[in-house]
Amino acid sequence: MHSLLLLAAEEDKFSPVKPVLSELIWAAVFFVVLFVIISKVALPKLNATLAAREQALAGRLAAAEQAKADAATVLAEYRAKLTDAQAEVNRIIEEGRRTGEGVVAEARSRAEAEAQALLTRAQSDIQAERDRAIGALRAELATLSIELASKVVGRSLDGDAQRQLVDSYIDQLTSRN
């Protein structure tokens, strides 16, 4: 307990609320000296470093702004080229559509012309075959009629005269129908 009392007595000498005046003066002197040294040596270097950093940041900011402007210009050019390319694609598609329509129309007209030519040729072939068949039938009919009439009459008839008679009769029959 005695040691506790001694400690309490020593504590009375030191008070954080009431500092020792000599220590306070020495602390102020060291503070002023330290402040002068720092302001003369370290502060200019610190200010120069801060100024250099500020300039570097300003340069980076300007470069970033320039890069942003360049990117905007490139983007605008890209969009313009894209629009031009889209217009070109649309033009090519339209041209292809028109060309295709022209090819289809040409093929259709060619096919119609060929069909018409085939039809005309077939009709003329049919007409020629019909005429040939009618001619052959007339000749055969005339010959058979003359032979029949010769057998019925019992004597030979004049072939040319009878043939003309049969032909005129057949012509009369076909003109009535």
| Domains in the chain: boundaries | 21-176
Its pTM stands at 0.40
With beta carbons less than 8 A apart as the criterion, state whether 170 and 138 touch. yes
With beta carbons less than 8 A apart as the criterion, state whether 132 and 119 touch. no
- Nearest alpha-carbon partner for 134 in 174, 105, 176, 83: 174
Q: What would the pLDDT profile of 26-71 be if each residue is shown by its tens digit?
A: 999 999 999 999 889 888 998 999 999 999 999 999 999 999 999 9
Q: Specify the higher pLDDT residue, 138 or 5.
A: 138
- Nearest alpha-carbon partner for 128 in 136, 138, 117, 139: 136
